[in-house]
Amino acid sequence: MTAILTRPNWTTDLELEIFDKLLDQHAPHLPKKRLEEPRPPKTAEERENFYHYRVAGAAHDLFIVQVCAKIIDSFADPELQLFLSRQIGDDGAHAQNTRLRAQAISGQDPIEDIQKQVQKHWDYMGDLPIRNWQGFLAFELHYELHIVALLLINSRTSKINDPDSAKYAAQRILPDEAVHRLGVVDWWQRKFDQASPTEKEDLIVQVLEADEEGQSRRNPYLWDHWLLSQKGIGIEIDELPILYDAWRREVLAYFLDIPVSQLPKLISVSD
């Protein structure tokens, strides 16, 4: 029997199509592209808030590096190892660039502040990212895919940015992150597509359970982070929690190859 592929490939175009559909449903007044260019932080207070926002960004990337470096040896899957080695290299480079930009703006090396924030990720995520493949997949989903709703909102509505950071993000971070998301999709699909229908049902339950644990672990962080984004780059979007939840459902429905409406009720970022 010839297998019929029903799922479209995961691409950045598909991401935009899904996200813009969610905007139409939940926040039609939000722009589909950037209307106004951001400006650099001006006052001491703005620079301070922007610094904390950048430290959080570097910590997100450095946490990914630390998790992937710990776990890479536990998978006997050379394809996955090659992907993870790229992810480690890229996210390490992103963290380093962000560190240097934060240093240029504040006049101090933020490495200790960054590592303090990385430790907070370890504290709230616990051993989930390195517990087993299910936990690691949930980690990748949360740190690479579920955050896309916020990234897209930022890219369209942020009011403050540093021009050098914006240039690096456009040239390096955006294309790298698209590769990371594809790498996660690819690893998962190699596993899922060869499973039998009964095995698939089992996998779906396991992935949802790990992803839900990730969500409840991340909820307090996400609210803190959104407050930081509001202060640091001027993002003020009331619909952010709704868009976050709806986007996460779309990602999970795609991964598990079931319609969004057939997903069970999931933990909300607002729970």
Q: 144 or 245: whose CB is closer to Fe ion? A: 144
Contact call for residue 91 and Fe ion (CB under 5 A):
yes
| Chain centre distance of CA 163 | 22
Least distance (Å) between residue 161 CB and Fe ion: 16
Taking the least distance from each CB to Fe ion, the nearer of 64 and 246 is 64
Q: Based on CB atoms, which residue is closest to Fe ion, 23 or 62?
A: 62
Helices (H), 27-77: 44-71
- Rule CB under 5 A: choose which of 19, 38, 53, 94 binds Fe ion: 94
- Give the x-and-dash track for 122-161 against Fe ion (CB under 5 A): ----------------------------------------
Site for Fe ion in 42-71 (CB under 5 A): 61
Name which of 91 and 213 has its Cβ closer to Fe ion: 91
Q: Among residues 99, 142, 146, 180, which is the contact residue for Fe ion, using CB under 5 A?
A: 180
For tokens 């449903």, name the residue.
Answer: 25
Give the pair of three-digit tokens for residue 234.
């001027």
Instruction: Write out the DSSP string of the chain.
Output: ------SPPP-HHHHHHHHHHHHHHH-TTS-SS--S--B---SHHHHHHHHHHHHHHHHHHHHHHHHHHHHGGG---HHHHHHHHHHHHHHHHHHHHHHHHHHHHHSS--HHHHHHHHHHHHHHHTTHHHHSHHHHHHHHIIIIITTHHHHHHHHHH--B--HHHHHHIIIIIHHHHHHHHHHHHHHHHHHHTTS-HHHHHHHHHHHHHHHHHHHHHHHHHHHHHHHHHHHHH----TTHHHHHHHHHHHHHHHHHTS-GGGSPP---TT-
Q: State in angstroms the smallest separation of the CB of 128 from Fe ion.
A: 18
CB of 229 to Fe ion, least distance (A): 16
Comparison of 160 and 173: residue with beta carbon closer to Fe ion: 173
Looking at the Cβ atoms of 25 and 85, the one nearer to Fe ion is 85
Contact between 121 and Fe ion per CB under 5 A:
no
Closest approach of Cβ 64 to Fe ion, in Å? 6
Q: Does 99 bind Fe ion (CB under 5 A)?
A: no
Q: How far is the CB of 43 from Fe ion (least distance, A)?
A: 29
Work out how close the CB of 102 gets to Fe ion at its nearest, in angstroms, rounded to a whole number. 15
Binding interface with Fe ion (CB under 5 A): 61, 91, 94, 177, 180
